[in-house]
Structure 1
Amino acid sequence: MQGAVASPLTAWGNFYVIVGTAAATLTGLMFVVLTLIAGVRSPRSSGSIAAFGTPNVVHFCAALLVAATLNAPWQALWNASLVLGLCGLGGVVYVAIIVRRARYQTSYELVIEDWVWHVIIPFASYTALMTAALLFPVNPTPTLFCIGAVTLLLVFIGIHNAWDTLTYVATELYKPEPSSQEK
């Protein structure tokens, strides 16, 4: 029985090693970047970091969790399905928290692109992960493609949102103050 259970997961091993490694590396990089930003910029509300920075780490960690889950030596697919389903459910709940944080922070006014990348795409990703987790024990081979796409999308969401945040910080928050001659 163990050979039959492992076969659909074994074919995806390299994919999840690559995606999991990328997610873990990007998570660490987010810590470095936030540390550097905290040392340079003037104190501001932590609301914008909670709304725009922390979700990137959560998405990277969710991708890492999925990668680790699908590389574990499960005896039955329903065990992995349960972990994946809980990860998807946790992600959906967390997106609701992101919406609340984004609405109540006062440092930045969201535009449509922000709602798409910070709310709509993550919500769709975590919902797809929950759905795929339900179908995984019944039809693992095609479901693994959906789970793989969701995992990669979570990494891309984190990359996009981290880049968007960093370019905002670099271009808007660090504008040089006008000299006395320009005033």
Structure 2
Amino acid sequence: MISALLVSAIMSAPWPSLCSAAIALTLFGLGGLVYGGTVIRRARRQTYYKPERADWVWYALLPGSAYAAVAVAALSLGAYPCPALFATGAAALALLLIGIHNAWDTVVHIVVVRLPSEARE
């Protein structure tokens, strides 16, 4: 959810040119891909829970795709501004919805799995 807010802040800034906004968005997208790689690496190393297919989709594939879409849209911002802006908006919306889903999924996991197991101990 923070990512969607950051994209909105980048897009709302009074950039002197599209090139400056494109650089900021490209760095954001690449940073998101690096972060996604870190999440994947940590998910593979942890032993508490074995991620299922849906977890990989929601926590790795979809966010990685959204960050990649921001980076690609930013790189094409100078040549194709209108489609690039729509792609950036769609990716920001995707990041927001993914964040809401993942926060909800985390709360459900804590309430359904962790709290009952801690009560048994």
Report the Cα distance in structure 1 between the residues aligned to 2:6 and 2:26, rounded to whole angstroms: 12
Percent of residue pairs bearing the same amino acid type: 44
1: CA distance, partners of 2:93 / 2:71: 15
Q: Gapped runs of 5+ residues in structure 1?
A: 1-59, 179-183
Match of 1:90 among 12, 21, 31: 31
Dislocated runs of 4+, deviation >6 Å: none
TM-score by length of 1: 0.63
Instruction: Compute the RMSD of aligned alpha carbons.
Output: 1.2
Tell me if 1:135 matches 2:76. yes
Per-residue CA shift, 1:58-110, capped at 9, x if unaligned? xx222122101111111100100000000000011111100111011122110
C-alpha separation in 2, matches of 1:140 and 1:61: 24
- 1:174 is paired with a residue whose SS is helix
- Please tell me whether Structure 1 or Structure 2 has the larger radius of gyration of its CA atoms: 1
The alignment status of 1:177 with 2:120, answered yes or no, reads: yes
What does residue 9 of structure 2 align with?
68
Q: Quote the Cα distance in structure 1 between the aligned partners of 2:88 and 2:54.
A: 25
CA displacement at 1:144 relative to structure 2: 0.9
Which residue matches 1:80? 21
Q: For 1:96-125, what per-residue CA distance to the aligned partner results, in whole angstroms no more than 9, with x for missing partners?
A: 100111011122110000000011111111
